[in-house]
């Protein structure tokens, strides 16, 4: 039996108690949403660490917040330049790594071949579920959220 699970601890606990043989799955939309949330959390954490305050107009990470959520294949030249400039700074390496994971999830979700999309998403979830450097806290959390839950086939 399959149980669609959102990232809701109470629901997961109740489902596990009532349906112990059920396998939890997450649909790709929610996996991508969780990756976007991880990207936002990482950007905010790095912003706070490097600047000592929340994002403000003129702060590079704050200025790039919407661009970071744009699919790499949809970026304008100006947006690409903004990200290139952002990622040249060593202090933004955690944001860059999280952004790359996010982009890979978007690519898997958008894959026209459903089987290939599922394979890409499963491989990525498996990869981020183990051996991620401790500095990438948000990716570790994302990997834990996806571990043990097979993604459902991407829509298409």
Contact 1, 19 (CB under 8 A): yes
Helix (H) or strand (E) run with residue 117 in it: helix 114-128
* pLDDT > 50? residue 30: yes
Q: Given a cut of 90, is residue 150 above it in pLDDT?
A: no
Residue 96 in this model has a pLDDT that exceeds 90: yes
* Selection from 87, 88, 108, 107 nearest residue 42 by Cα: 87
How far is 67 from 37, CA to CA, in rounded Å? 14
User: What predicted TM-score, i.e. pTM, was given to this entire model?
Assistant: 0.78
- Stated as kind and residue range, the H or E segment containing 19 is none
pLDDT range class, residue 147, cuts 50, 70, 90: low
pLDDT tens-digit series, residues 5-24 = 455 566 667 777 777 777 66
Q: Among 61, 62, 56, 140, which residue's Cα sits nearest to residue 98?
A: 140
């Amino acid at each position: 039996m399959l149980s669609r699970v959102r990232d809701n601890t109470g629901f997961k606990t109740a489902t596990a108690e009532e349906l112990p043989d059920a396998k939890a799955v997450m649909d790709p939309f929610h996996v991508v949403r969780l990756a976007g949330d991880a990207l936002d959390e990482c950007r905010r954490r790095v912003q706070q660490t490097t600047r000592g305050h929340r994002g403000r107009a003129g702060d590079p990470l704050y200025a790039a917040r919407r661009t970071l959520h744009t699919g790499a294949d949809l970026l304008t030249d100006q947006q690409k330049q903004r990200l290139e400039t952002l990622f040249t700074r060593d202090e933004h390496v955690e944001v860059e790594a999280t952004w790359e994971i996010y982009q890979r999830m978007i690519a898997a979700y958008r894959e026209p071949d459903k089987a290939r999309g599922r394979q890409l998403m499963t491989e990525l979830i498996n990869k981020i579920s183990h051996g991620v450097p401790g500095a990438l806290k948000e990716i570790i959390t994302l990997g834990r959220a996806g571990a043990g839950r097979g993604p459902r086939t991407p829509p298409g």
